[in-house]
Chains A and B, each alone.
Chain A
Amino acid sequence: MKLTLKIWRQDGPRARGELVTYVVEDISPDMSFLEMLDVLNEQLNAKGEEPIAFDSDCREGICGMCGLMISGEAHGPEKTTTCQLHMRSFRDGETVTIEPWRADAFPVIRDLVVNRSAFDRIIQAGGFISVNTGSAPKAEAVLVPKPNADRAFMAAECIGCGACVAACPNAAAMLFMGAKITHLGELPQGQPERAQRVKAMVAQHDAEGFGGCTNIGECSAACPKGIPLDVISQLNHDLRKAGAGRF
């Protein structure tokens, strides 16, 4: 396969960036998207040019490190992470535009790498439970009904990749936050801090400069883990109840 790539190149956080065109030949349809970029980087290295910086870690679709805007779609045309996207999803001769996640709360560090520390600060604000360590309770000490456990697991699938923010026309992080609110809110261990959690996380979200949700639904469509819009409603529900002091 042969592809024409238009890739965002930016030397540093403050540098001006631009789209640079590269042509890559001899791509196997079985390569992952990141392997294709590895091939391009080897060619750039051989020519003595600066390789393209992009994030990746596990390359198994579970860590949330990778994430590229591929021709206007977060993680590209398939419902998966960028590392698990394969070149067979593209046509031979296609032109593909690759950009970093665009959100002021996710500043570009270099080329396609963005700083997602804003997510960490949202989690630090309330996305946790407080327990005494040292004496782990028996797993069956607190029983959780199956439907609640299922929903908690569904929401806990979020890997914090940031595709929801990247895809959102408002650059809001409501799906990410909603997933954590739902995950902890479904479990008994999450109850004591439930009201405080939602208020603190939303306050941090707004302070980070994310936009406001207008329930458009692009986030859920872009999510590699298929987190549904329900979690945003759950967040709004918890926020309303917490605001009225009814927890």
Chain B
Amino acid sequence: MKLLMAVTGLIFVGFVALHAYGNLMVLGGADTFNTYAHHLRTFGQPMLPYEGFLWVLRVVLLVSLALHVYSALSLWGRANGARSTRYAVKKAAASSLASRTMRYGGIALFFFIVFHLLHLTTHTIHPQGTVATPYENVVGSFELWWVTLIYVVAVLALGFHLFHGVWSAAQTLGLTSTAAARARAKLLAHLVGGLIALAFLIPPLAILVRIVK
């Protein structure tokens, strides 16, 4: 169960890392970003059909999401069942904010992902108006302060989730059996959480303050 949680979590870490890297292409201007977006769809051609690679990714991510949510919910249920009478007073001695907000942060991220897909993938929600290219889509969206705000909050939640998630996955996979390995895993978790959040924050903020137009 927890192995499932750890492994599917690590798949997401890999995905968001690539996603964050791809987003930075927007800094290169319209051509770079549009080429990148087009290339994602033709990736692997002619071995794969148009958008073939994207669909493989989508299926893997959907299956991972289902398993990740399933294991999270069953662990949550077990925890509730394991302490049906709560403490009148309980202090948190060592736990990080990130570790205590995993469950609520996870739910928030789930709703954000739904919003994000409706916004920039299916264009069901389009505050930026109907436009022709991916670049205009992105830039048009993040020039609106409230869209940027939603994304910034979500990315910070993602950073926290990644921080505890990476460390927790290392521990669950049994890779941190010495104090030194534990310190390394914590450092790696900080780096992964921090760098990915930073990489995700740069494009929307750059657009909001009109460095990228």
Which A residues have a C-beta under 8 Å from some C-beta of B? 6, 8, 19, 69, 71-73, 97, 99, 102-105, 167, 169-172, 209-218, 220-222, 228-230, 232-241
Q: Which residue of A lies closest to B170 (CB)?
A: A233
Chain B residues within 8 Å of A234, by CB: 174, 177
* A-B contacts, 27 listed (Cβ < 8 Å): A69-B89, A97-B89, A99-B87, A102-B87, A104-B82, A104-B84, A167-B93, A170-B82, A171-B79, A209-B81, A211-B81, A212-B2, A212-B75, A215-B167, A216-B94, A216-B100, A217-B96, A218-B95, A228-B179, A229-B176, A230-B177, A233-B177, A233-B181, A235-B174, A236-B173, A237-B173, A239-B174
Contact with A along B60-93 (1 / 0, CB 8 A): 0000000000000001001101111111111111
Given contact pairs A19-B88, A213-B172, enumerate 7 new A-B contacts (beta carbons under 8 Å): A99-B89, A211-B83, A212-B75, A217-B96, A218-B92, A234-B177, A236-B174
Q: Which residue of A lies closest to B85 (CB)?
A: A102
From DSSP, what is the main secondary structure of chain A's interface residues?
Answer: mixed
Chain B residues within 8 Å of A220, by CB: 94
Whether A233 lies near B89 (C-beta < 8 A) is no
Given contacts A229-B171, A233-B175, A221 and B94 within 8 Å (CB-CB) = yes
Alpha-carbon gap, A209 to B87, bound state (A): 18
Alpha-carbon gap, A19 to B83, bound state (A): 18
Whether B94 lies near A233 (C-beta < 8 A) is no
Whether B172 lies near A236 (C-beta < 8 A) is yes
Chain B residues within 8 Å of A73, by CB: 91, 93
Whether B75 lies near A218 (C-beta < 8 A) is no
Whether A217 lies near B94 (C-beta < 8 A) is yes
Whether A209 lies near B92 (C-beta < 8 A) is no
B148 within 8 A of A: no
Alpha-carbon gap, A172 to B82, bound state (A): 8
Alpha-carbon gap, A97 to B87, bound state (A): 10
Of the candidates A72, A217, A221, the one whose C-beta lies within 8 Å of that of B99 is A217
Chain A residues within 8 Å of B1, by CB: 212
B8 within 8 A of A: no
Query: Nearest chain B CB to A139's CB is how many angstroms away?
Result: 27
Given contacts A215-B172, A236-B174, A72 and B83 within 8 Å (CB-CB) = no
